[in-house]
Chains A and B, each alone.
Chain A
């Protein structure tokens, strides 16, 4: 057995069914061995999308996503995808080929110091210098990626190591790393303190981030909120932790959040942050969330607690374990008045914006679309105005809402939707993007076509970089700089070129019929919605 065969064997041992990637000479031994395996390899059209697709798959399956690319430019192209997964705490194992180990450091063809380059946005990285290390390295990589605070791990393997004979292949059963022992169970004394604070509190609120979904604690959260009548708000990454129309859920917080959610958070006397970074998008003045209230911060990553806001009670652990323990407690329910007050805000603080009737109203359109989608559909939002419209108007029932809230990488939705569909073939998967973000990954239409991955794509087309234009509108008083996207392409022709059916929606009167047609069949389909270029999020 050689190194490459060992690599494939390791992936099989980890239960990997699909990998995304792009070959090159430095990873060819691996791609040669994968032919002998049942693992499906998907050839994306640019490496960055391999990481996004693996991320989409990881998020819907709960398993670590895998991508494999070649050395040099292959590896560096992957970087944005890795950084995106890191910011969103998505478990990935990224394999990169590398030049011959004897030539390392001599700047030969397609050599890049990828472990050095990704250091600040991987959880860990390996440069394998001996084929016998492959089983241990892979076992550790999957363990590190998928436990504690999840994240990407990179394995760089020189081509000669892939060809080297493995003297003994033994896949480790268990793992014991002296430097890595994530805390999963919450500290008992801290949990008792939290319980005491909940009992004291008149106006408690839970703010959930992506950590809830990564931990798989959604149902426990729901049970907890219902049992103790504690309202819930979420960050962008936490959308979907609660069904949008759940009576205890009050929406997304932050600059682009729901006014009633922000108000609820501000007026609370006890704020329980769970699996959220307290980053600027969700909480732009971290000092405010500790003023006049008790802040409980739960996170599996101790370094997140106290990084941006000083908590009154830190609680390190996995949300699933902590909520399970909290549910065993007997806590007096909070005041009914608080929940009904928030319900009042929900009714009165609705923001409905006027929209140009000659175009599609993006907010109303997304609302309509999500009502007609299957209950358990997976909705993938891109980055830009489309993301904000999606966050505010998509209704999560039993499905998932995926987006990159941490890094905000344009072009995420199409490859991520493709990965999500491959990970969950019986669910409807819909990617919603703008014409800017669409053009950042439209080459993946070919991948979808080739591997028959029926992802549905909505392009909200306003022929500008809407989010930046909106910013320039407010900040530079309509002095627009480098936001014009009028160069096309004609999406109808583009869809035809890829053999994908196409729909165009000019205004809201056509919306119902178009959405019905869009969702009707299990097929890839591209729907273009014409949006007023002057449309604003706020």
Chain B
């Protein structure tokens, strides 16, 4: 079972290490982990994608809540969320395959953001499956290097701002 954890944490040094350490120590998976500041400079948001059985998924949430630097944990499924990933990908091209590459980029709504006489850099921001699809499509053409951010996600918008907090006594 795959779950996304959106974790608000205190924005001070060592917190990322504590959270990542918790996952490794308790043998929880990390599929991806992304951290960034929120609108409040004292608070960071981590988006962690993880998987495991029901008990593990529950334990991850509880153990995260137990960390004193964690302000709030929201756990949700992919289907209940909007998730995005950003990728930068460099390929080698030649006269013969240039058109093909551009076509693939067009179809998958990827953008060419830089190029030289032999290489081009493609940027794509989409759901993780689409990112994987682009990699697959370009695999036959020689990929030079890839950088991916990992998933960031938030639960879908609702009208009532009612979000459960596990920290409330």
Could you tell me which A residues sit within 8 Å of B by CB distance? Answer: 115-116, 119-120, 123-124, 144, 177-185, 301-303, 306-307, 310
Contact = CB atoms under 8 A, between A and B. Distances in A.
Interface stretch (B17-25, B85-93, B103-111, B133-141): B17-25
A182 B58 contact: no
Contact of B21 (A120, A144, A183, A306): A120
B71 to A, nearest CB: 5
A120 B55 CA distance: 21
Contact of A119 (B21, B65, B167): B21
B10 interface: yes
Q: Is chain A's interface secondary structure helix, strand, loop, or mixed overall?
A: loop
B124 interface: no
A179 B14 CA distance: 16
Contact of B65 (A123, A144, A185, A302): A302
Contact of A302 (B14, B62, B69, B168): B62
Nearest to A303: B62
B68 A123 contact: yes
A179 B71 contact: yes
- Sorted nearest first, the 9 A-B pairs with minimum C-beta distance are A303-B62, A124-B68, A181-B169, A303-B66, A183-B169, A179-B71, A180-B68, A179-B68, A120-B25
B68 A303 contact: no
Interface in B105-158: none
Contacts of A180: 68
Contact of A179 (B10, B21, B58, B62): B10
A184 B169 CA distance: 8
A144 B25 contact: no
Contacts of B58: 306
Contact of B63 (A144, A179, A184, A303): A303
Contacts of B70: 179
A120 B67 CA distance: 11
B62 to A, nearest CB: 4
A144 B69 CA distance: 12
Contacts of B62: 302-303, 306-307
> Interface extent on B, as a size class?
20 to 34
Nearest to A305: B62
A184 B59 CA distance: 20
A179 B154 CA distance: 21
Given A119-B17, A185-B169, A306-B59, 10 more contacts: A116-B17, A177-B68, A178-B71, A181-B167, A181-B168, A182-B169, A303-B62, A307-B59, A307-B62, A310-B55
Contacts of A144: 68
Contacts of B66: 301-303
Given A181-B167, A182-B169, A119 B18 contact: yes
B46 to A, nearest CB: 14
Nearest to A180: B68
Contacts of A116: 14, 17
B141 to A, nearest CB: 44
23 contacts: A115-B14, A116-B14, A119-B17, A120-B21, A123-B68, A178-B167, A179-B70, A179-B71, A180-B68, A181-B167, A181-B169, A182-B169, A183-B169, A184-B169, A302-B66, A303-B59, A303-B62, A306-B55, A306-B58, A306-B59, A307-B55, A307-B59, A307-B62
Contacts of B168: 181
A120 B17 CA distance: 11
Contacts of B166: 302
Nearest to A317: B169
A343 B65 CA distance: 43
Contacts of A185: 169
A124 B66 CA distance: 10
Contacts of B67: 179
A118 to B, nearest CB: 11
A119 B17 CA distance: 9
A179 B67 CA distance: 8
B52 to A, nearest CB: 13
Contacts of B71: 178-179
A137 B164 CA distance: 29
Contacts of B167: 178-179, 181
Contacts of B14: 115-116
A179 B169 CA distance: 11
A299 B25 CA distance: 22
A130 to B, nearest CB: 13
A115 B58 CA distance: 27
B64 to A, nearest CB: 9
A33 B125 CA distance: 59
A176 to B, nearest CB: 12
A241 B142 CA distance: 69
B69 to A, nearest CB: 6
Contacts of A182: 169
Interface in B53-84: 55, 58-59, 62-63, 65-71
